[in-house]
Structure 1
Amino acid sequence: MTRAATTAPPATQISGQPYRLTAVLALLGAGLLGVGTSLHPADANPGVPAAAFSEYAADGRAGWVTAHLLQFGGVASMTLAMVLLARAVAGPGGAAWARVTAVCATAGFATAAVLQAVDGVALKAMVDLWSSASDDRPTLFAATLAVRQVEIGLDALLALVLAAAFLSLGVALLTAPARSRGLGGLALATAAAAAANGLALALGGFSNTAMLATTASGLLGLAFLLTAAVWSWRRAATRQE
C-alpha cells in the first residue's frame, strides 16, 4: 500500500491537465475564428448572389482558402474544448451529458469539414469560372448558385448541430459542482442563439434576419470560448493547490 501510494501520480496533477488543455483550445478556437472571419470578404450583401459572387471573385484564392481553413481550425479547436470541458466537469450524474456533448461536437466538426470543402474550395472555383467566362455566363451563374444553396444547407445544419452540443454542454455544466453555473448559463444562451441561427438559415437562406442571428450566435460563441478559457485555467490552478 505504501509503495502504491508512493509511485502513483498525484490526483490533483492529473485532474488539472484537462482544464489547462481546455483553456488553450478554447483560446485558440476564439482566435482562429476571429481571424478567419475578419479575413472573409463581407462588404456585399450575401443575400444578393450576383453582388456576393463578384466580391468573392475579386478576392485571391490563397486568401480565400486561408480564411476558411482558419475558420475550420477554429471550429475544430472549439469542439475539442467542448468535449474536454464536458468530460472534466462531469460528476456522477453528468457522464451521460458529457457523452452527448462528445457525439454532437464530433458531428459539428464533421459538418464543418464538409462546409469548408464546399464554401472554401468548390464555391470559390465556381465563382472564378463564372467571373472569367465570356460565354454561357447564365449557366455558370446557375451552377454557382446551386453550390451556394448546398453551402446554406450545410451552414444551417452546422448551426443546429452545434446548438445541440452547446445545449448538452450547458446541462453538463449546470449539473456539475459549484462555480460552473454561470458558464453553463452562457452555454445555454449560445445554444439558443445557434438554434435560431440554424432555423433562420434553413428557412430564409442568407437573409438579413439570418445574418443578424449569425452575428449574435458568433458573438455569444466567442464570449463562451473566452470565458471558458479563463474559467478552465483558474480551475486548473485550483486543482494544483
Structure 2
Amino acid sequence: MPVTTQQLIQWKQQGRTIVALTAWDCAIAQILDSAGVDLILVGDSLAVVLGYETTLPITLEEMIHHAKAVRRGVKRALVVVDLPFLTYQESLPQAMHSAGRVLKETGAQAVKLEGGYPAMVETVHRLVQAGIPVMGHVGLTPQSIHQLGLRQQGKNQEAGERIFQEAIALEQAGVFSLVLEHIPANLALQITEKLRIPTIGIGASANCDGQVLVTSDVLGLSEKQPPFAKVYTNLREHITKAVEMYSEEVKDRRFPS
C-alpha cells in the first residue's frame, strides 16, 4: 500500500522509525522504492546534481521536470518535492501557485517549505487549508546559506528556543512532518518529544522519528560530503574504474568482442 502523510503520523505514535532519501530521476526512485524507503524527497539538492554550487539557482520548472521522473518510478513511497528559493517566499498567491503546480503536474503527494518565521507559518497554514500537504524544515535551511552559512544552528539557548518555537508554530499551522537539519541532539530530542507529528533528522542525531540523507552522499557520488552524512559505498570510484576499463577495451579493440 502507498505510504500516506497520515501513516507517517501513526508511525510516530507507534515508535516506528521513518526512512527517507532523495531522488532525482526515475531509475534512482525505482531503486529506493523497491528497497523499502518510506519517503522520497525530490530535494532542491538536485541543484548540485545539475552542476550548481548552491540550491539557490534551481528553478521550479527544473524541480517539476525531475519530480515527474521520480514519481513515475515510485509505487509505494510518499513523494515530497521541495519548493525552490523565491518560488513561495514573495507572497501567498505565489506559494499557492507553485505548490499547486507541483502537485498537479508531477503527481507528488506533498511539498516542502523552509523556515518557521511568522510569515512562513501563515503561508503553510493557508496551503494546508487549500488541501496541499506540507512538510516543514527548520534548523539549517540551505536556501538561507548566505545568511546562515552551513554551520550547525540552535547551539545557544536563544537560537535553540527560536527553533523550538518555530517547530511548534509549524505543527499548529498543519505540517504533517518536520525536517530538523544540523541542530544539536538535545534540541532535536526536545522538539521530537514535544510534537505529535514526526521529525525527520539530517545531521540532528538519532533523537528524531526518522532520518533523511541526500542519496548521492550515501552512495559516495558527491565530491564533498557533509559532516553528518555516512558513505555506504563509493560509486564514484566504481564508476570511474568501470569507465576506464571500457575505454581501454574500446581503444584496444577488445570491445565489442
* TM-score normalised by structure 1 residue count: 0.24
> Larger C-alpha radius of gyration, 1 or 2?
1
| TM-score of the aligned structures, taking structure 2 as reference length | 0.23
Structure with the higher helix share, 1 or 2: 1
Give the structure with the larger strand fraction: 2
Q: Higher relative CO (CA 8 A, sep ≥ 6), structure 1 or 2?
A: 1
